[in-house]
Amino acid sequence: MCGIVGLHLRNPDLYPRLGELLSGMLGEMQDRGADSAGIAVYGNPTWAPAGHTCVSLLELDVDPAAAATALGAVVGAPVAAQYVDNTLVVSADVATDDLLAAARTTYPTALVAGFGNDLTVLKGVGAPRDLAASWDLASASGWQGVGHTRMATESAVTPAGAHPYAVGPEQCLVHNGSFSNHATIRRELRAQGVEFDSENDTEVGARFVAHQLAQGRDVETALKEVCATFDGFYTLVVSNRDSFAVVRDAIACKPAVIAETADWVAMASEYRALAHLPGVENARIWEPEPEVVYAWTR
């Protein structure tokens, strides 16, 4: 049992409240998974300056100023670096591939938690409310956020095993459930050159979706391929910089609820995570149908 939440803001007046609202949503899902938690935030200028590439690095113990100097020398441009709890967040006005390659070359043992324009991914082990406080999530602004609270069932409780899995540029995926055929799909993806950071079944889903998108498919088509390829029980939220999508498996036994207003679209494992959102009393609220892809674009 895990908890997933997602919030896509349509009204720019709410952008300063993204972290506050997302923090409340994540906290309400703590009793669905208190092993670890993670968030993906799009558009917070404190972590990722507007239009800049941002790379989130875990399992790394370096001085941020030294990291900025080292990475700047590789990319040939100024690099900003800061710790947000245990995540080293680096950003620069360079191409995503350039900063990502520099980070991987300079710090080959670090875990890349996420990368892309305007995206910051933070993950950690511990109670979600405590982690949200350590990130100062309530102060974050932006236009979109996704979060996950994990109850581990099949892989280690580590930052690498926490969601979101953000394995493609500006992409992330969170998952409640389990994929029963993930080992087979992992072998098939590895045969195609896809590399993995963990043994978590959710990473297989994220790598599969990223592989589909890299081949030119849109999010809706990629998620339909997930439904056709993966066995098991799942509710998924998949996002990139400009879109937000939800899908459930054919049986739809993992809980999910979507709410929509003119100001925002939100999704959570349970309604209580949505109850504090502004204007929720006037929202259209429904349970997503099995294998129907619900998607919104910024």
Alpha carbon of residue 264 to chain centroid: 18
253: annotated active-site residue:
no
**Catalytic choice (2, 54, 227, 253):** 2
Q: How far is CA 239 from CA 125, 175, 199, in A?
A: 23, 12, 22
DSSP for 205-242, please give it.
Answer: HHHHHHHHHHTT--HHHHHHHHHHH--EEEEEEEEETT
Backbone conformation region of residue 167, classed left if phi is above 0, alpha if psi is from -120 to 50, else beta: alpha
Provide φ and ψ at 130, rounded to 5°: -65, -40
CA distance 10 to 242: 11
Alpha carbon of residue 165 to chain centroid: 6
Q: What is the CA radius of gyration of the chain?
A: 18
How are beta strands 264-268 and 284-286 bridged, if at all? Answer: unpaired
Q: What distance, in Å, lies between the first and last C-alpha atoms of the chain?
A: 30
Judge contact between 219 and 160, C-beta under 8 A: no
Q: What angle do CA 289, 295, 298 make, to 5 degrees?
A: 155
**CA nearest 148: which of 199, 202, 91, 89?**
202
Catalytic sites, residue numbers: 2
